[in-house]
Amino acid sequence: MLASQIESIDLALKNLGLDKQPVVTAKPRSDARFERLVELINKELRTSGQWNRAERLIIFTEYKTTLDYLANRLASEYGNEDGAILQLYGGMNDDDLAPISQTIH
């Protein structure tokens, strides 16, 4: 029974284009939530292809893997020009945390 469940999950991941490792660098064939996020960013945070520096968007995730996936996809979509996409997560050392904290205040 477990083998058939694993096989079903493997097939579903393959159909989504998420069967390659590491998963956080994968680009699925379809991701409606990410597409909606891009729409929101383009509408609220960008003007004529440039970042609106007066605005911030903070995305909270439960899992670091989700954070890595989003950061990779956003960097792929927008590049990482001028530190526009930053990651903040539990367990960061103070040296890495300080510049991010200053940026979001």
Domain extents in the chain: 21-104
Distance from C-alpha of 30 to C-alpha of 2, rounded to nearest angstrom: 27
The pLDDT of residue 23 is 66
User: Using 50, 70 and 90 to split pLDDT, how confident is the model at 42?
Assistant: very high
The pLDDT of residue 12 is 85
Can you tell me which residue has the tokens 């040296």? 95
Distance from C-alpha of 100 to C-alpha of 67, rounded to nearest angstrom: 15
- pLDDT mean over 41-46: 92
Yes or no: say if 100 and 88 are a contact pair by the CB < 8 Å rule.
yes
- pLDDT mean over 74-87: 82
- pLDDT mean over 53-63: 86
- pLDDT mean over 87-100: 83
Tokens linked to 55:
């605005």
- pLDDT mean over 97-103: 78
Residue 60: is its pLDDT beyond 80?
A: yes
Global confidence as pTM:
0.69
CA distances from 68 to 4, 36, 50, 72 (A): 30, 18, 23, 6
- Mean pLDDT (the chain, rounded): 84
Yes or no: say if 71 and 85 are a contact pair by the CB < 8 Å rule.
yes
Residue 58: is its pLDDT beyond 70?
A: yes
The pLDDT of residue 43 is 93
CA distances from 20 to 11, 30, 64 (A): 12, 15, 18
